[in-house]
Chains A and B, each alone.
Chain A
Amino acid sequence: MGVVKGPLFSVGEFLVFAAFAFHAVNGIRLALVELGFAIGQPIEPVYPYRTSVDEQRPLAIGVMILAAILAIVGGIGFLK
């Protein structure tokens, strides 16, 4: 059990938690987007074109902010 109490292990564990936070939140976004849900309906293209990538951009930014918040909140426990 000495291994799991060391500081290096704590850093590693925090990285796993942060990776989970990002992977989970981004995964929700990908599940939505790759099933065609948050990318807008097919429309008559009028220049300048607003593509599906532009439509899902607010979601992507929200994902990154949420993942950062989750990682920080979870990280508080590791600081102890």
Chain B
Amino acid sequence: MADHTVTSEVVFRIRRFDPTTDADPHWEDYRVPWPPGMTVLEGLKQIKESLSPTLAWRSSCRMGVCGSCGMFINGRPRLACNTQVSELESSLITVAPLPNFNIIRDLVPDLIPMFKAHAETQPYIIRDDTNEQQQPTGEYWQSAHQLEQYLQFSYCIKCGCCMAACPTYATDPVYAGPMPLAQAHRYNSDSRDGGFAARQQVLSGERGPWRCHFAGECSRVCPKGVDPARAIQLMKRQLVFDYLKLGKQKCPASIAKVPDGLKRREGIPETPPRTI
């Protein structure tokens, strides 16, 4: 185990708010030791263990894949587990809950509006062949090129950092936000999906991408490189071309069935017997 030599201390300035006792949020400072490689999340845990047991936040995987620990750290929405104290280049670390959301308590934002908007865009494969989806007989055919069209947007971990950074979402209660719109495009551009018309009900109106003016902050803060701004602009193109009837009619991917009458090639051994 490496020797974590404590070389210095750092001050965490945290936005505290307990709705049962406080009228408004307020800042509180905590001085913690700063071992090499400490993340902001580790700092919060240190504070909770030794300085303020009532500090509340969300976290889970501590490795940047679950999306729970989105916070406003030194002026930018980041994942606390993914943010090294050293990369902030300051001995004062300000930690606040994600902006553009109501605060439940301390660093815990109310993300229900984001998830509601997400559910409205029907973020799942929509196809006519429900029998096939319940009892699959084969896989849906998809080329590597078709995969590339949506793969980047599928890396979204729903952390809410993009929603916190979006200036339109900050001021406009009607706008759905970068995450729901980018995820709607993730499914619209998936060649296995046939739900473009169903999603259009939501996307062609006020809840759609029309109020996005490409500030691009969502893409700049995304911890997974999802680039929701790119998804939204590509979605605008898809919607405009659909209105002008310029787009190609997209049929959902067919099933890649194994052809009948296939014979095993000579020399390939049979499957070994099951051991379970």
Contact = CB atoms under 8 A, between A and B. Distances in A.
B246 to A, nearest CB: 11
A36 interface: yes
A36 B219 contact: no
Given A35-B233, A35-B236, A47-B225, A42 B219 contact: no
A49 B222 contact: yes
A53 B219 contact: yes
A45 B148 contact: no
Contacts of B240: 35
B234 interface: yes
Interface in B185-218: 189, 212, 214, 216
B105 interface: no
Contacts, number: 70
Contacts of B234: 36, 39, 42
Q: DSSP class of B's interface residues: helix, strand, loop or mixed?
A: helix
Nearest to B226: A45
B148 A53 contact: no
A33 B219 contact: no
A30 B213 CA distance: 9
B155 interface: yes
A45 B233 contact: no
A53 B220 CA distance: 8
B237 interface: yes
Contact of B214 (A30, A37, A46): A30
B151 interface: yes
Central interface residue in A30, A44, A49, by most chain B CB within 10 Å: A49
A33 B225 contact: no
Interface of B: 148-153, 155, 189, 212, 214, 216, 219-220, 222, 224-227, 229-231, 233-234, 236-237, 240
Q: Which 7 A-B residue pairs are closest in the complex by CB-CB distance?
A: A45-B225, A53-B216, A49-B225, A51-B219, A52-B230, A36-B237, A36-B234
22 contacts: A34-B212, A34-B214, A34-B236, A35-B236, A37-B237, A39-B233, A41-B148, A42-B151, A42-B152, A42-B153, A44-B148, A46-B225, A49-B222, A51-B220, A51-B225, A51-B230, A52-B216, A52-B219, A52-B229, A53-B214, A53-B219, A53-B229
